[in-house]
Amino acid sequence: QLHLATASDNVPHISLMNYTYLPATPYSPHPTIIMTTPPASRKTHNLESNPLVSLLVHDWVSHRPPTLSQPGRSPSPSRPNPRSGSLAELLLGMNTASLSRISTTINGLAQIVPGGSEEEAWYKAQHLANNTFESGDALYSSSPVGGGLWGGGGLEGRRQEDTREGDGGTKCYVEGEEVRVVVVSIRDGRIADWKGQVRDWVVEAERPASINGV
């Protein structure tokens, strides 16, 4: 999971989100993060007026179970040997010295994908595949709907608004017709480790094709 920070009229808001990371898509050559959100949520309102977002990702141990997704898709980094295409692999590619002891802040530009489009259907399919768990893994699910780590069983006091704000990764929050798909194009970020060392990084823009080798 990651934390999504949005803002509108100088009022910040943060949400805990399930996500799918892809190094590139048919719609963008840049690293992309896929999330879903209810249309009436506060973060959706914020994104409609301000597409600039920040994401907080860490590689600490996660309680997420194995998914039914393909190797190229990955949830929050939680394994010593990250699968291809995961954010953990992205962090390892930056030559970080202490995997499992770092966090990164990611800045990006968010877009709410047009509803009913082929693009939305494609992103939903990727996100659903990455957040469909094997039978019996509901105990570890981060979904706020239908039990799981954040719903029911000891957390009965959560408000209805909190339930609506969660992404969950369940069919209700991914396949629902009213659910909006949000994609974030990653631009830059900052890595911090447990020693307090900080390093900035930037996603390099694609260079224009050369003409006659020039």
- Whether the Cβ atoms of residue 84 and residue 71 lie closer than 8 Å to each other: yes
pLDDT tens, position by position, 151-178 = 333 333 334 444 444 444 455 556 656 8
214 vs 153, more confident: 214
Confidence at 180, pLDDT banded by 50, 70, 90: very high
Domain count, the chain: 1
- Whether the Cβ atoms of residue 70 and residue 129 lie closer than 8 Å to each other: yes
pLDDT of residue 145: 35
- The verdict on residue 119 lying in a domain is yes
Residues 6+ apart with CB under 8 A from 87: 21, 57, 74, 76, 77
Residue 153: CATH number of its domain: 2.30.110.10
pLDDT tens, position by position, 8-57 = 999 999 999 989 999 999 999 989 999 999 999 999 999 999 999 999 98
- For 146, the domain range is 2-202
- The verdict on residue 208 lying in a domain is no
pLDDT of residue 60: 57
- The verdict on residue 114 lying in a domain is yes
Q: In the structure encoding, which two tokens stand for residue 17, read together?
A: 């989100």
Residues 177-190: what's their mean pLDDT? 91
What residues are paired with 8 via a beta bridge?
11
Output b/e per residue, 153-172; b: 16+ Cβ within 10 A: eeeeeeeeeeeebbbbbbee
- The verdict on residue 213 lying in a domain is no
- The verdict on residue 76 lying in a domain is yes
Residues 6+ apart with CB under 8 A from 116: none
Cα separation, 9 vs 130, in Å, equals 34
Cα separation, 87 vs 21, in Å, equals 7
Residue whose structure tokens are 């709410």: 112
pLDDT tens, position by position, 67-121 = 555 555 555 444 445 544 456 656 655 544 445 567 889 999 999 999 999 999 9
- The verdict on residue 211 lying in a domain is no
Confidence at 125, pLDDT banded by 50, 70, 90: very high
For the chain, the residue count is: 214
- The verdict on residue 207 lying in a domain is no
- The verdict on residue 118 lying in a domain is yes
